[in-house]
Amino acid sequence: MHHPHLRLLDCRFDLRDALLGRMAYAEGHLPGAVYTDLEMNLSGPVTESGAGGRHPLPDPQALAAWLGEQGIGPDSLVVCYDAGGAQGFYAARAWWLLRWLGHEQVAVLDGGLTAWQAAGGELTSQEPQPTPATFTPKVQTSYLATADEVAALSDDTLLIDSRAPERYRGDTEPLDRKAGHIPGAVNRPWTEALDGQGRFQAAESQAERLGAAPAQATVTYCGSGVSATPNLLARELAGVPLGPDNRLYAGSWSDWVSDDARPITTGPAST
């Protein structure tokens, strides 16, 4: 990777133990990468009511200030990476957040750390000392859908649930207070965006898998707004950029079930 303004974000994390990602970073990371914690840096405080979900969006100014401290400014090319494979959604969360803040020069390292090492890339335990920069956020409100907007979606918009099929059906729910899915949602597990090597599939495969027409709007959700982001990236790869036709319901299922008045559905999708 050679770019005069390259900045790397190591986004490895484990929902079962928040310390594992930081420990893995300390053992070895891409040269120049700074550690980026899902819950400390890429999420806001969880509310007592659960509104906003398990990983609420961070305050834009707070995130922008942290990015600036990491040396990320308007000219930076930011590459986000995680472990890849089954843990390959944390980098996409960082990618989406930077795009939400109006930063266009951001990418995800395809295949994550696994692909880097397979290609002969070296790791280091040395932590960088970035020169601070000024990151000015330009929040893209069109990238988001609220719970009320999701509840009022027309049949013209495809609502995509990115979780595993068993969680979508409501067979099991290991994290949130209710099981099932939002009425009208179709199940497109985020893992199917990747091939057998943990890399994103080609654009044609993404379009076919997601099942949305090029001109059709989509709103995508997951459990807490993290694992939905690979599907948003997949739709952009298929030719539909983030915006009104490719939005994230950031609070996702954990936000939806924080209000008992909202309906839920269980079982497979109707045909």
Give the model confidence (pLDDT) of 87-136 as tens digits: 899 999 999 999 999 999 999 999 999 999 999 999 999 999 999 999 99
pLDDT band at 77 (very low <50, low <70, confident <90, very high): very high
Q: Which percentage of the chain shows pLDDT scores above 70?
A: 99
Average pLDDT across the chain, whole number? 96
- Apex CA 196: angle with CA 100 and CA 22, to 5°? 50
Q: Which of these is catalytic: 147, 222, 228, 238?
A: 222
pLDDT band at 55 (very low <50, low <70, confident <90, very high): very high
pLDDT of 11 > 80? The answer is yes
pLDDT band at 195 (very low <50, low <70, confident <90, very high): very high
pLDDT reported for residue 271: 46
Which is more confidently placed, 270 or 159? 159
Residue with tokens 């049949």: 155
Alpha-carbon distance of 263 to 188, in angstroms, equals 20
**What is the reported pTM?**
0.96
pLDDT reported for residue 214: 84
Q: Which of 83, 86, 131 is nearest to 109 (CA)?
A: 83
pLDDT reported for residue 211: 92
Q: Is 222 a catalytic residue?
A: yes
pLDDT band at 2 (very low <50, low <70, confident <90, very high): low
Residue partners of 151: CB distance under 8 A and separation at least 6 = 262
Alpha-carbon distance of 45 to 64, in angstroms, equals 16
pLDDT band at 1 (very low <50, low <70, confident <90, very high): low
H helices within 19-136, ranges in order? 19-27, 60-69, 90-100, 112-118
